[in-house]
Structure 1
Amino acid sequence: QSIYRFRGADMESYLSARRATDGRHYTLTGNYRSTPALVAAVNHLFTHAETQPQGAFGYKEAADNPVPFVPVQAQGKARRLLLRNILDETVDAWADVPALTCWVLPSAEVHSAGEFESILAEHTASAIAQRLNQGQAGHCVFESESGAVQPLAPQDIAVLVSKGTQAASIQRALNRRGIKSVFLSDRHRLFTSPEAADVYRWLLAMAEPQQLGRVRAALGSAALCRSWTQLDALRDDELLDIEVARFVRYGQLWQTRGVLAAIYQLLHDYAVPAALLAVPFAVSSGERRLTNVLHLADWAQNEQAQLAGRDALLQRFAVALNTARDAEQELRLEQDEHLVQIMTIHSAKGLQYPVVYLPFLPLIQGDNS
């Protein structure tokens, strides 16, 4: 779990585990999501960074580097983004748009964080407007492996930010250029996920395990990954009693050690992480679903610290679900318009977009973030 910094993970835990397993390490060598051009660009950038005295990630000491950058091979689809040369009308020339572009802004003046944020937002919006104009004119297109072409459109573009104020800056800059966008907030995305309803069912069953309908609903939740055979077996009263006893224990854990401990015990007992990660990639990846569950568990723990009793937490959870559903209806109408997508880096984990802008990377957060 040391990869989850939002849960207080630290590098020392990883380094300790790495030392303890020396000689038994495995490395993933293939990237199945990104295009070959993007993989090559990232390899080039970080291989160069690896030559620096402290390595790419700042942990290199002399000949020892416990956190090296390891280049990978591209196993993804060979989709290309092409730009037509319109300066020379005598040729019909197309060139690949660079897979990775880094902007270097003038630093002659020292700007406040707010001014710098505004400059970055305006620059990004102008770049997006230029690309969309090229796409609309048929001069910027995607080419698939089969040779089929499709013009670049607003819904192909995602802008990743760190917080809501940055999203607002981008939206204002895009609006000034007549480009519509939608901000997909972390909270909205989390509580409209199927996992939110599943975790809520778990908590209802923990709170009242004597209500057999609640226990059955919890066991039937998609995130628990129970098979139809396992669920059908619950018609046997003895097997159902075993499951009820588990939820009684979770309820007791909730009372004595907190809701996070109760949810984690459930995840362990039903081997939920392994089950989710083993599900074939379909509508939503197992990694994304597991991340949602862990985020919801943390949210519940944080809310519980501010509330009096389990009923108050269940009520807060129900309100969050209902509010998110109402917002989802409005959001669906907006998304039907094919808008530029804006979301936080945090909520983008596990998602994929053809073209991604990260305008605010220079605005580094403090060490306590």
Structure 2
Amino acid sequence: MVVGDDAQCLVAGTLVTMADGSRRPIEDIRVGDEVRSGHGLGSFAPASVVRVHRSVARDGVAITMRSGRRLLSTPEHTHFAGYELEASVAVRHVPNRRFAPDLGHISAREMRPNPVAGPDLCVFCTVETHIRGRTGGVRPAARLGAGGQALPFTPAALVRPGMVMFGEHGGYDVVESVERVAINAPVYDLDVEPTHNFIAGGIITHNSIYGFRGADIKNILEFEDAFPDAHVVKLEQNYRSTQTILDAANAVIRNNRAQKPKSLWTELGRGDPIKVRELEDEHAEARYVTGEIQRLLDDGVSRAEIAVFYRTNAQSRVLQDTLVRADVPYQVIGGTKFYERAEIKDAIAYLTALINPQDAGAFTRIVNSPRRGIGSTSLSKVLAYTNTTGTSIWDAASEPEQVPGLGTPAVKALRRFMGILHVLRERAEANPPISALLKETLQETGYLEALEAERTIEAQGRIENLEELVNVAGEYDVMTAAEPEREASLADFLQQIALLSDADDRSDDQGLVTLMTLHNAKGLEYPIVFMIGCEEGVFPHSRALDEGGLEEERRLCYVGITRAELDLYVTYARTRNVFGARSFGAPSRFISEIPVELTDREQQQPRGLAGIRARATTWARGGDDAASWDAQPAAAPAFRLGEDVSHPKFGEGVVTGLEPGGIVVIRFSQDGSERKMVADLAPISRR
């Protein structure tokens, strides 16, 4: 057995549905192509292909559906498959949930029928009752779960006739037959962001090695029990990382009980110790990382040799803003830059519509986001009416009964939508804190509620990104409150966002610093790696801890550590704005699992908060209507405009600008260049 992840694939010739509705053989799909992807609740939207896998397989599983569709994949390929809950009701064990036989779904991995409490209820998995001498029993208050319309992740090898799978139009299609076949041919799979699913052969399918996307570590742990004659080959020699980095990874993963013991080693030597840094908050962390990157670049390191990993996409916003202000070009792998994310663009479009009702682009983006029964046909009639009459789109939508050919349902939907916007616009005209206005907008328009209803990991990530946008607005509120001469307004806030987005939209031919989540890091290596946000509740993630996923998080940490070839930085913050709340965090347990002798540890001394800081809003629905913010006294700036300074490498210069985030702009007389540096970290001194 060689443990790998390239066996979850579809055969060449499988037709993949593209974003425009056309179909293309999977072997012809390329990185950057857009495919049609399920977004939950029966909705579909384009999603980007970020990676294409190719392998060769001998065996396959052919799944034939009642509709005539046929899908041929490797046995390990993950599908959405389960039993339709109509003829009988089924339940699945979920910890800490009470008996709910009217809802739920079953797991195809754990089928063992047991009659329970009546002829209309079947239990397909063992339920722990802690009654001595009995198994499979049920009490009225047993820990049984409540589910929805979701189908569980099921490998092709465990799909059975009678199960259902999701078809390309969102409905169920019944599995008619399943058979093992010989392939002996190339096979392919696609990594699709952000939804991790695509339509193959008219069926929605899914694939990933990670547990939260359907993988099961038991497939590896129990392999030798299932195949006792198999020869196990441990691939322990590493050809890229130093022994210090490998020893740290070995020490961390050793704390997992569910593992295949092995010890990585290399002939590359010990290498430098792992740099563990404690910072004051996420802004200080971003300044430290940016300053170190600038120092490395000054020392001749290429930007393409540097990567920054984080647990969730929302964590990257502060770092992205700091990199932009410091003029450090970067790219986001397996995702989208913060201000380019669809949910962020939607939120900005809502605010834009409130301040500029004539903005047709913003209006058309939000009118049916989330879905509210105003489709493209109805919208095209409204736009045609505005073009014919010269009426603004806001005015036309406010009197939808005047639009020719608009159906009654669309008229009612537009009335409801415009009623919400009129109330929000009146609120915006009162010039409230931007954070409070944004929060109210996301709640009152139903945007947040729609994401919560999806109950998917991807939707939770989008919620976290929106919470981070509320943090951005809160920082703006505090900054303008501390500058009486500056008038705070929604227009000014949107202009600041536009400036950040424009500054970030540039090409560069000298390589880019790479940013990505830890989940996207597998299979990649970089000479220098930063792992940021290593605090309890952030990494390991609080959601994973609640769901018993600590060992999966530790495996993720192992992956992150072993991506570094020469230098590894691990950072954590004493306080962090997480999910709209300022929290005081403890260092991640993964840091304590790294032997001290392998590390170089430093702590930043507490100091006044420089620049912009905001106390938390209460993001939870039903909280206060307005956000409460405390403006912390800003520390005196390290430098003043016009001040003469010197740098050991660039020589003498003068300060020409000061920017948020502790960035100082210096024009050097030696070569006439103007450079942006992190004041706290750059070796700059006054003359």
Greater share of residues in helix: 1
TM-score (ref. length: structure 1): 0.47
TM-score (ref. length: structure 2): 0.27
Greater share of residues in strand: 2
